[in-house]
């Protein structure tokens, strides 16, 4: 619900005093509408109009910070329903569930894995982000000690889960300096919880059985000065989650409906006991807007696919994805291995490196920085022509890695062959196949030193 310049102008003094730095109030209003100026720049606006306008100009979905320091997780302020419209901005936080009903051995194992867990994939770190501490036993003491344990063992932000409001608030007070998310606050317990929540100033996870009820609870909390909330619409399976998450995101972004203008959470761990289905539901919730997804497993074979899917969904479609410029060593090549060259457009890299692996022939894959342009576009713009590549080959000392002087270039870049023969005297320039899928066959049949 973007505000137009003309709407903003109505609340300005319209004196054209220029004190804001713009020639007229109208020019100032237009700038505010596009985010290029701030209301504070006007010294004469009356406080009431200012407060009203600020509320209207605020992002339609709040930003919520859970945790503190390096590992704090920030979610919310999303701007679109579909990633191609702009981009999704703040990756879904993946939370791992610990229960005070689990055996101590299981808990220790989970904590050890959570803390040590990280993947690296093409220079990107893939991590889980939150520890959800759940109160399922009847014993408050047990819960408190689990919360303490989680604080001790990890430096990750916490999500506190307890249907015993008293236990929940005690735990919240206990780890308040770690800025946990406190969940669930509901229609039933909101009254009792409010005094403590106001005192602690922590982000609040709100649960309700319908979106209408959810809006009622957030409005009540907001009126009492609680700003950071995360919404749980209580979805019971993947299809319900798609529905609820879609309606919340739409209400916030397309209708400007403030009571649902918060990031959301989903619990695939409670939707499915089957680990595969839990992971599939998590992927669906990541694609469809959840700010936090809570899982009950620390098995890397289940988490890695989910984390890669999250990374892909949250990749900014406005910028071509690139990989680092260097000579990648695939399958431990040696001095007799072939050298293939390609661009740093990530898709080119993935497809070519995948094809080399499929071929099972060790090779160097020299990746030249082309600012993410593919072969032909990069050639046209001079980033992948004979001169640029010759310079790159020398800069990275690629000739020192091998005994031969043969360079395989992409089959679509026919004109490049002549250019390189001129720029790299003594090298044999070999035109590779047109399609990356033909690389295995090409290497098997054509490659020899």
Chain residues in the site for other proteins (CB under 8 A):
82-84, 121, 211-212, 215-216, 219, 237-239, 242-243, 246-247, 250-251, 254-255, 257, 259, 276-277, 279-281, 283-284, 287-288, 299, 301-302, 304-306, 308-309, 311-313, 315, 317, 321, 347, 350-351, 354, 357-358, 438, 441
C-alpha closest to that of 442 among 328, 287, 338:
338
- Minimum separation from the CB atom of position 304 to other proteins (A): 6
- In this complex, which beta carbon is closest to other proteins, that of residue 17 or of residue 219? 219
Closer to other proteins by Cβ: residue 283 or 393: 283
The answer to whether 367 and 324 have CB atoms below 8 angstroms apart is yes
Helices (H), 94-237: 104-116, 140-153, 165-174, 190-200, 211-223
| CB 274, min distance to other proteins, A | 8
Query: Measured from the CB atom, is 62 or 258 closer to other proteins?
Result: 258
- Which of 382, 350, 380 is closest to 367 using CA atoms? 350
In the beta sheet, which residues pair with residue 188?
Answer: none
Closest distance to other proteins from the beta carbon of 121 (Å): 7
Smaller CB separation from other proteins, 7 or 438: 438
Burial string for 127-156 (b: 16+ CB within 10 Å, else e) reads bbbbbbbbbeeeebeebbebbebbbebbeb
Tell me the C-alpha distance between 282 and 292, whole Å.
10
Closest separation between CB of residue 438 and other proteins, Å?
7
Least gap, CB of 75 to other proteins (angstroms): 20
Residue 44 or residue 255: which is nearer to other proteins going by CB? 255
Of residues 211 and 292, the one with the C-beta less far from other proteins:
211
- Residue 130, φ and ψ in degrees, nearest 5: -135, 155
DSSP one-letter code for 71: G
What minimum distance in Å lies between the beta carbon of 222 and other proteins? 11
Location of structure tokens 């995101």? 249
The secondary structure of residue 144, as a DSSP letter, is H
Cβ contact 187:213 at 8 Å: yes
CB of residue 80 to other proteins, shortest distance in Å: 11
d(CA 172, CA 147): 9
Q: Pick between residue 52 and residue 85 the one whose CB is nearest to other proteins.
A: 85
């Amino acid at each position: 619900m973007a505000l137009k310049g003309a709407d903003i102008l109505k609340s300005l003094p319209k004196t054209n005093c220029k004190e804001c730095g713009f020639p007229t109030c109208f020019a100032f209003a237009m700038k505010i509408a596009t985010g290029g100026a701030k209301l504070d720049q006007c010294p004469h606006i009356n406080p009431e109009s200012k407060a009203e306008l600020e509320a209207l100009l605020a992002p339609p979905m709040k930003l919520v910070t859970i945790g503190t320091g390096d590992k704090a997780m920030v979610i919310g302020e999303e701007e679109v329903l579909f990633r191609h419209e702009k981009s999704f901005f703040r990756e879904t936080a993946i939370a791992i569930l610990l229960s005070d009903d689990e055996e101590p051995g299981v808990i220790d194992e989970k904590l050890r894995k959570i803390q040590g867990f990280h993947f690296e994939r093409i220079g990107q770190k893939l991590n889980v982000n939150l520890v959800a501490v759940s109160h399922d036993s009847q014993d408050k003491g047990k819960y408190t000690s689990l919360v303490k344990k989680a604080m001790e063992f990890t430096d990750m932000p916490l999500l506190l889960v307890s249907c015993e409001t008293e236990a929940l608030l005690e735990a919240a007070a206990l780890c308040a300096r770690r800025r946990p998310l406190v969940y669930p606050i509901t229609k039933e317990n909101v009254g009792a919880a409010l005094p403590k929540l106001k005192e602690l100033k922590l982000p609040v996870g709100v649960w309700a059985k319908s979106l209408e009820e959810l809006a009622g609870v957030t409005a009540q909390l907001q009126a009492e000065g609680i700003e950071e909330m995360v919404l749980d619409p209580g979805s019971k399976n993947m299809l319900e989650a798609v529905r609820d998450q879609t309606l919340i995101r739409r209400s916030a972004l397309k209708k400007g409906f403030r009571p649902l203008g918060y990031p959301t959470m989903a619990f695939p761990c409670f939707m499915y006991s089957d680990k595969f289905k839990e992971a599939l539901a998590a992927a669906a919730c990541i694609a469809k807007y959840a700010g936090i997804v809570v899982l009950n497993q620390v098995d890397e074979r289940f988490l890695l696919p989910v984390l890669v899917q999250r990374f892909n969904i949250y990749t900014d479609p406005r910028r071509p994805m690139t990989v680092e410029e260097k000579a990648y060593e695939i399958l431990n090549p040696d001095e007799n291995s072939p050298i293939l060259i390609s661009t740093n457009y990530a898709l080119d890299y993935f497809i070519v490196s995948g094809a080399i692996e499929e071929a099972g022939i060790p090779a160097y894959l020299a990746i030249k920085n082309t600012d993410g342009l593919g072969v032909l576009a990069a050639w046209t713009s001079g980033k992948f022509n004979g001169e640029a590549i010759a310079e790159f080959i020398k800069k990275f000392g690629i000739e020192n890695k091998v005994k031969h002087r043969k360079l395989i270039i992409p089959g679509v870049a026919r004109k490049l062959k002549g250019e390189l023969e001129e720029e790299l005297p003594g090298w044999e320039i070999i035109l590779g196949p047109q399609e990356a899928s033909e690389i295995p066959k090409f290497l098997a049949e054509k490659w020899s030193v």
